[in-house]
Structure 1
Amino acid sequence: MSAQTERRIIGDDYNHATDGEYKKLRDMAHKEYERRKELSQKSQQAYKSGDGAGAKQLSEEAKKHGEKMDQYNRQAAEYVFRENNTDSAHDEIDLHGLYVEEAEEFLGQRIQAAMQRGDPVVKAIVGKGLHSSGGVAKIKPAVEKLCNEHRLRHHIDPKNAGVMIIELPNGPQQPGQVYQQPGPQQQPHYQQQQHQGNYQGNQYHQQQQQGQGKNDNLLVNILCFCINKFLK
């Protein structure tokens, strides 16, 4: 872990909670949210009272405020992500200041890029929930869920509870070993070879192909996940 990352985790570096620009963008998004909510309620009331035209107009106005809300939140997410990750190592990603869906999207993109580079791990700085409402961590369980959905091995850094290390299936396969994604009734990852000669060589080649195929499928799944997040 880089020294820059260690400083961010303990709070000696950039802090989104005190950043005026970040707070302004989130506040603007919240105001648009409140306005959308208000107009949506009025639209429902108009519809119930028989004013279909008025209900439609109010609904359209609410939709516009919802779009503005999304724009401000997107600007805030891109801003805080840039500030947090300017000096990050290539295998690190700081998710502080992001909402859950934003964090999932950025992390999915980073995992995809890391797999294409052949990186063995991604170190996600998920924090400890200190800035979350009620002090309850939201990013960490979301990242765990994402890893479980894509069957990526992961664990908390024993040196820092605010960092999750995500293992990527990119390491070179040893003879007689093949990466297998976790699942019910899974066979052992490492199978002892009992036969020698050409049979062993052919089996190793087949296992390499199987491992590469699973890696490709994982990349496709993560890409689809990122696209779905973007289109929401």
Structure 2
Amino acid sequence: MWKLGDKSQAKQLSNEKQELYNQMNDKNRKAAELIFHFYNKNCPSSVIDLHGLRVDEALTFLSKKVHDCSANGNNQLTVITGIGNNSKEQTPRIKPEVIQFAQRNKITVVYTPNEGQLILELNAVQAERHMNETSCCTIL
């Protein structure tokens, strides 16, 4: 439309497109919250289950959980990542990102015999550093 000279129509279509993207993002966020709460409703406070989430969603929930655990004095967080059965090519996508998240935040990763699970060791110094680094940046 822009190239055809109808700038008004082009602007209207651009606005409609942006509104649809906003609606899509809102629905994706709501879906992620529902999925997260479904998998975590019976988990103890020291466990987070990231099944069913996209990588970016999983990292958002993980960041908040690390912050909450730190604030409550929990020294360990068990992270259930799954083994990638629902990912393209059946390869894990969340687990490697959780490991990178831990490395960036100087959090020790403990590997367990269960391939779909990790334990994050949150000592007070690491937890405080994480809270300071992410509290001003994390948008939920």
Is structure 2 residue 46 aligned with structure 1 residue 91?
Answer: yes
Q: Which amino acid aligns with 2:80?
A: I
> 1:216: how far off?
2.9
Closer, same or farther in 2 for the Cα pair 1:100/1:161, shift >3 Å? Answer: same
> 1:145: how far off?
1.7
Unmatched tracts of structure 2, length 5 or more: none
2:92 — aligned with what? 137
CA distance in 2, matches of 1:112, 1:218: 7
1:13 — aligned with what? none
Q: Which one has more relative contact order, counting CA pairs under 8 Å at least 6 apart?
A: 2
Q: Which of these two proteins has the greater Rg computed from alpha carbons?
A: 1
Counterpart of 1:217 (choices 110, 114, 129) is 129
CA distance in 1, matches of 2:3, 2:85: 44
CA distance in 2, matches of 1:47, 1:149: 44
Q: Which amino acid aligns with 2:9?
A: G
> 1:215: how far off?
4.5
Q: Which amino acid aligns with 1:226?
A: T
CA distance in 2, matches of 1:155, 1:48: 57
Is structure 2 residue 115 aligned with structure 1 residue 161?
Answer: yes
Unmatched tracts of structure 1, length 5 or more: 1-45, 171-210
Counterparts of 1:24-173 in structure 2, within 5 Å, are 46-157=1-112, 159-170=113-124
Normalising by structure 2, what TM-score?
0.91
Deviations 1:152-178 (A, max 9, x none): 111321x201001111013xxxxxxxx
Identity %: 31
CA distance in 1, matches of 2:87, 2:37: 20
Deviations 1:11-37 (A, max 9, x none): xxxxxxxxxxxxxxxxxxxxxxxxxxx
8 Å contact kept, 1:150–1:222: no
Q: Secondary structure at the match of 1:224?
A: coil
Q: Which moved more, 1:135-144 or 1:120-129?
A: 135-144
8 Å contact kept, 2:66–2:127: no
> 1:50: how far off?
3.1
> 1:223: how far off?
1.8
Deviations 1:60-94 (A, max 9, x none): 00111111111211121111111101110110000
Q: Secondary structure at the match of 2:136?
A: helix
Closer, same or farther in 2 for the Cα pair 1:226/1:76, shift >3 Å? Answer: same
> 1:136: how far off?
2.2
